[in-house]
Structure 1
């Protein structure tokens, strides 16, 4: 039962954070939505709201990082892998009826500088996600500098497109950009392969 209560508190907090951000989510909101008594919350999370939010955010980041890594590792062609990522984000938005987007974006927009551990967690999350994309492009032969720029493009477009899709309640923008970005990545890989063939022939 204790573990059920803890899990319920964590799941409720994760949902509220994605809907309202850090400052828009109060302990009373969490207690009311989870049905957990206040004593249980402090029993499981003696550090209160900050400890709870950090734990929830870390778990959300870990899940996204794991899934992103799996998609990129499963497909040798990074353009195809990235297209899959855009499609997965579109499905996620449709499944939650366009009410939830990136799990950390609302927290970042709340500027959690007063909780250093949370701010660092958000910074590190984007660094990890961009890094995984960059590594996938680099493995396909794209030079490091361009691989990094393409990774930034993918991550930033996904973040912006989630906002647009939620506002329009339509995943079509994700599909349109997915095709363009995949073509751009495919072109970068082809250029890299051509350069490698030229170097090998010299």
Structure 2
């Protein structure tokens, strides 16, 4: 029962954070939505709201990182993998009726600078996600500088598209950008291979 209460508090906190951000989520909101008694909250989370938010955000980042890594590993063609990622994001938004987007973005936008652990988790999250994309592009033959730029493009467009899709309650913008970005990645892979072939021929 204790574990069930702890899990319920964490789940509730995660949902509220994604909807309202750090400053928009109070302990009273968490208690009311989870149905947990105040004593249980402090029993499981003696650090209060900050401990809760740190744990929830860390777990959310780990989940997204795992899914992203799996999507990229499942396809040898990064253009196909990235297209699948955009579609996965679109389905996620549809499934939650466009009420929830990136688990990190609301926290970053609220800028809770007085919680250093939270700042570090958010910074590390984007480094990990961009790094996974860059590595996938480089493995496919994209030159390093272009791989980094494309990784930034993919991550930044996904973050922006989640906001647009939630505002419009429509996934069509994600579909359009997915096609364009996949085409860019395909071109970059071909260009990288041509460059390496030319280098090998010259040698």
How far apart in 1 are the matches of 2:144 and 2:111? 31
Q: How far apart are 1:145 and its partner, in Å?
A: 1.0
Structure 1 gaps of 5+ residues are none
Determine the C-alpha separation between the residues in 2 that align with 1:13 and 1:23: 12
- Name the CA distance, whole Å, in 2 between partners of 1:21 and 1:28: 15
| Aligned CA-pair RMSD | 0.6
Q: Please list the CA deviations of residues 85-131 of structure 1 after superposition, one character each: whole Å capped at 9, or x if unmatched.
A: 00000000000000000001000000011101001100000000000
| SS of alignment partner, residue 147 of structure 1 | helix
Pairing 1:59–2:70 present = no
Q: Tell me how far apart the structure 1 counterparts of residues 173 and 96 of structure 2 sit (CA, whole Å).
A: 17
Map of 1:8 onto structure 2: 8
In structure 2, the residue matched to 1:130 is 130
> With structure 1 as the length reference, what TM-score do the two structures score?
0.99
Alignment correspondent of 1:116:
116
What is the number of equivalent residue pairs in this alignment?
A: 202
Answer with 136-145 or 81-90: which moved more: 136-145
In structure 2, runs of 5+ residues without a counterpart are none
Q: 1:104 and 1:198 mapped to 2: Cα distance?
A: 42
For residues 119-168 of structure 1, give each alpha carbon's deviation from its aligned partner in whole angstroms, at most 9, with x where no partner exists.
11000000000000000001011111111110000000000000000000
Aligned twin of 2:179: 179
Counterpart in the other structure of 1:22: 22
CA deviations over 1:6-50 (Å, ceiling 9, x no partner) = 000000000000000000000000000000000000000000000
